[in-house]
Amino acid sequence: MANKLKKYSILLLLIIGLVFLGIGCTGTKNNEGSSAENVTGAEPPSAENVSGAESASILLKGSDTVLPLAQAEAEEFMAENSGKSVTVTGGGSGVGIAALIDGEVNIAPASREMTDDEIKSAEAKGINPVETTIAYDGITVIVNPSNSVSNLTFDQLRGIYNGSISNWKEVGGADAQIAVISRDSSSGTYKDFQKDVLQGDEYRPDALIQPATGGIVTEVSQNTNAIGYIGFAYIDSSIKALSLNNGNGSVAPTEESILNGSYPLSRSLYFYTDGEPSGLTKEFTDFVLSEKGQSIVSTVGYIPLKK
Amino acid sequence: MLSRNYKEKTIEWTLFSVSVLTVVILFLICLFLFRDGLLLFKDTSLMDFLTGKFWYPTSINRQFGLLPLFFGSLIVTAGAIIFAVPLGVAAAIYISEIADPRIADFLKPFIEILAGIPSVVFGFFGLVILVPIIQDSFSLPTGQTALTGSIMLGIMALPTIITISEDAISSVPGTLEQGSLALGATKWQTIYKVIVPAALSGISAAVMLGIGRAIGETMTLMMVTGNTAVIPSFPEGFLASVRTMTATIALEMGEVPQGSTHFHALFAVGSVLFIITFLINLIADSIKKRYRFKVD
């Protein structure tokens, strides 16, 4: 009995001690990194990299849309330059930009421009964001190949996504309920689409949310009533890309229409850096903009800057 | 003699410290989870969170309402239980009491393999095979519904329910069965009057563990339920899309800036999930105690 009591008291003391230790840790963590990314911020290499331009490794963090491209570029770059390392992680445009503002990364890949708020908070921290366009992309609206609808106006598309249009016959299709598919709210493409098409309206609450572009393609390819939006790189024969009309005639998503800006949902993909790129950051950016780097852009499925 | 004692003590203390470490880790996880979850209530009131009907985490008038996610989890789990418990217990009874031992030996490893299939594979199967079937058979706008999620979840919970129930049924002493048969009861009467009641604590534990898996499942549900944050009605809600609490965390944690209100909201959802799982375990424990059958 006494032995048991002793064990319990030791256990209790240990737990209390460690919990206090835990509270102590969380306290200091709160003081250090109140805004973003405690984990990355704590890693010594990234902090050194940002300050020292001559380091042999750089860190990229940001858009998931740019991620496959940046990853392919980094692999090729490292294959050509042994001893130099380029680390690429996703997280989303907003997360990457926040990390750039906090001085945690060398390059923040983004599928949208920085907002005024973000630029302001960057300036407040002495960061001077410089934008480099690395490729073009177009958000493509897709339906099932058996759907008779092949073009939509912006008003129709907006109606479908904000909930005022729910039947395909209202936009010239069959009499069937529309299954509206969206990306999840953390996606940069979700925000671009909300800004450009919904113009600030909420997405209809009953829209199906898919965690990845692949899920949207699968659902649209097997559901005759579905509509979704994806990056240009993901178009394949199992789905049909719609032409869009925002008042200047119907335009199909093609490399040309995205490149000359006539496709209404064309957008640029960016690298954001603090100041003009220098050192390894410049080497990598130059590589991405080079002929070889731009051919990788085509391979991944986005549209290169120079044709 | 002394060294043997010493060895005993060392082993005892090693095991003791390992278990203490587990408890401490659990405490720290709770601490971090609740600390980040509670920070949400600096920006949103607790009532708004618990009774809110809308989940708009990134819009200008953002709302963090738990209800659609909570009921989403609830309806999918309820569906999975309705589907998996009778099937699982029946299969366990068949394997341990009725089936030819050779058939039982053949069936068991297959059920165990089912448990080892990664949930993303189940999700893919559900998305490609089950979703179109559900859509066609009920003529729905989409097959990504709570029912689809329930069926997939039920299949995933089956191995847990079957193997643990089967263990419980097999471990009922043979004397009970023989006694019942000797009194003139038929095989079937023996099964449902004697063996199943005797194994009830084990079967309840199996069911609770199945529910535990169902509530915590993320990947499959994210792939097949459509992730629509709308409060489902009952029972029509089975044919509508729903979003579960786990899927919300998995969907949104990826790109949410750390330290933001949205980040804390996801931790708050995680805290609620933790509390629910904790309560289920408590209930399972009390059921186990109440129905404990004295076989000695």
According to DSSP, the residues that pair with A151 across neighbouring strands are A243
Which residues in B lie closer than 8 A to residue A187 (C-beta atoms)?
A: 255
Region A135-143: mean pLDDT is 93
Q: Contact A208/B228, CB-based, under 8 Å?
A: yes
Which residues in A lie closer than 8 A to residue B257 (C-beta atoms)?
A: 35-36, 94-95, 98
More confident of the two residues A47 and A283: A283
In a domain, A25, yes or no: no
b/e A205-219 (16+ beta carbons within 10 angstroms → b): ebbbbbbebebbbbb
- Residue A76: per-residue pLDDT: 93
Q: Which helix (H) or strand (E) holds B76?
A: helix B67-93
Shared domain for A147 and A217, answered yes or no, is yes
According to DSSP, the residues that pair with A59 across neighbouring strands are A87
Beta-carbon contacts of B151 under 8 Å, excluding residues fewer than 6 positions away, are B79, B80, B83, B126, B130
- ipTM passes above 0.85: no
| Residue listed under structure tokens 């923040």 | A108
Banded pLDDT at A42 (limits 50, 70, 90): very low
Banded pLDDT at A14 (limits 50, 70, 90): low
- Residue A183: per-residue pLDDT: 87
Q: Which helix (H) or strand (E) holds B85?
A: helix B67-93
Alpha-carbon span A27 to A45, nearest angstrom: 24
Alpha-carbon span A216 to A193, nearest angstrom: 15
Closest CA to A76 of A224, A306, A284: A284
Alpha-carbon span B89 to B220, nearest angstrom: 23
How many domains in chain A?
Answer: 2
Banded pLDDT at A13 (limits 50, 70, 90): low
Q: Contact B23/A11, CB-based, under 8 Å?
A: yes
In a domain, A28, yes or no: no
pLDDT in tens, A141-178: 999 999 999 999 999 999 999 999 999 999 999 999 99
The first and second tokens of residue A19, run together, are 């919990």
For residue A68, the domain's CATH number is 3.40.190.10
Contact B114, B162 (CB under 8 A): no
Residue A193 reports pLDDT greater than 70: yes
- Residue B204: per-residue pLDDT: 86
In a domain, A76, yes or no: yes
Shared domain for A172 and A241, answered yes or no, is yes
The first and second tokens of residue B59, run together, are 């819009």
Shared domain for A124 and A185, answered yes or no, is no
Q: Which CATH number fits domain B46-291: 1.10.3720.10, 3.40.630.10, 3.40.630.30, 3.40.50.720?
A: 1.10.3720.10
Shared domain for A64 and A110, answered yes or no, is yes
Residue A53, SS3 per DSSP: coil
Would an 8 Å CB–CB cutoff place A26 in contact with chain B? yes
Which residues in A lie closer than 8 A to residue B23 (C-beta atoms)?
A: 11, 15
More confident of the two residues B211 and A42: B211
Instruction: Give chain B's contact residues with A (Cβ, < 8 Å).
Output: 16, 20, 23-24, 27-28, 31-32, 35, 54, 56-60, 127-128, 131-132, 135, 141-144, 222-223, 226-230, 240-241, 243, 250-259
Residue A242 reports pLDDT greater than 50: yes
Beta-carbon contacts of A264 under 8 Å, excluding residues fewer than 6 positions away, are A154, A196, A244, A245, A246, A248, A251
Closest CA to A106 of A84, A76, A81, A139: A84
Question: Where in the sequence is the domain holding A86, given as residue range(s)?
Answer: 57-136+268-300
Contact B195, B97 (CB under 8 A): yes
Shared domain for A158 and A249, answered yes or no, is yes
Contact A229, A213 (CB under 8 A): no
Q: Which helix (H) or strand (E) holds B91?
A: helix B67-93
Render each residue's pLDDT in chain B as its tens digit; 296 residues: 567 888 999 999 999 999 999 999 999 999 999 999 999 998 888 999 999 998 888 777 788 999 999 999 999 999 999 999 999 999 999 999 888 989 999 998 899 888 889 999 999 999 999 999 999 999 888 899 999 999 999 999 999 899 989 988 988 888 999 999 999 999 999 998 999 988 888 888 888 888 877 888 888 999 999 888 888 887 788 899 999 999 999 888 766 767 788 889 999 999 999 998 888 888 877 777 776 655 54
More confident of the two residues A303 and A29: A303
Shared domain for A189 and A131, answered yes or no, is no
Query: In sequence order, what DSSP letters do the residues of A106-124 get, joined into one string?
Result: SEEEESSPPPHHHHHHHHH
Shared domain for A152 and A248, answered yes or no, is yes
Contact B249, B274 (CB under 8 A): no
Shared domain for A288 and A217, answered yes or no, is no
pLDDT in tens, A82-133: 889 999 988 778 888 888 988 889 999 988 888 888 888 889 888 999 999 9
Parse chain B into domains and list their residue ranges: 1-42, 46-291
Banded pLDDT at A16 (limits 50, 70, 90): low
pLDDT in tens, A51-90: 444 568 899 998 878 888 999 999 999 999 988 999 998 8
Among A260, A276, A292, which residue terminates a domain? Answer: A260
- Residue A8: per-residue pLDDT: 62
Banded pLDDT at A49 (limits 50, 70, 90): very low
- Residue A220: per-residue pLDDT: 94
Q: CA A39: distance to chain centroid?
A: 20
Shared domain for A122 and A167, answered yes or no, is no
Alpha-carbon span A41 to B263, nearest angstrom: 17
- Residue A232: per-residue pLDDT: 87
Banded pLDDT at A289 (limits 50, 70, 90): very high
Contact B88, B115 (CB under 8 A): no
In a domain, A21, yes or no: no
Shared domain for A149 and A241, answered yes or no, is yes
Residue B274, SS3 per DSSP: helix
The first and second tokens of residue B40, run together, are 């949400």
Banded pLDDT at A244 (limits 50, 70, 90): very high
In a domain, A9, yes or no: no
Shared domain for A294 and A183, answered yes or no, is no
Q: Contact A185/B58, CB-based, under 8 Å?
A: yes
Residue A201 reports pLDDT greater than 80: yes
Instruction: Report the residue from A200, A202, A218 with minimal CB separation from B128.
Output: A218
- Residue A240: per-residue pLDDT: 94
Q: CA A223: distance to chain centroid?
A: 26
- CA-CA distances (angstroms) from residue A76 to A58, A84, A159, A273, A298? 15, 11, 44, 21, 14
Beta-carbon contacts of B143 under 8 Å, excluding residues fewer than 6 positions away, are A223, B130, B131, B132, B133, B134, B135, B136
Alpha-carbon span B46 to B271, nearest angstrom: 13
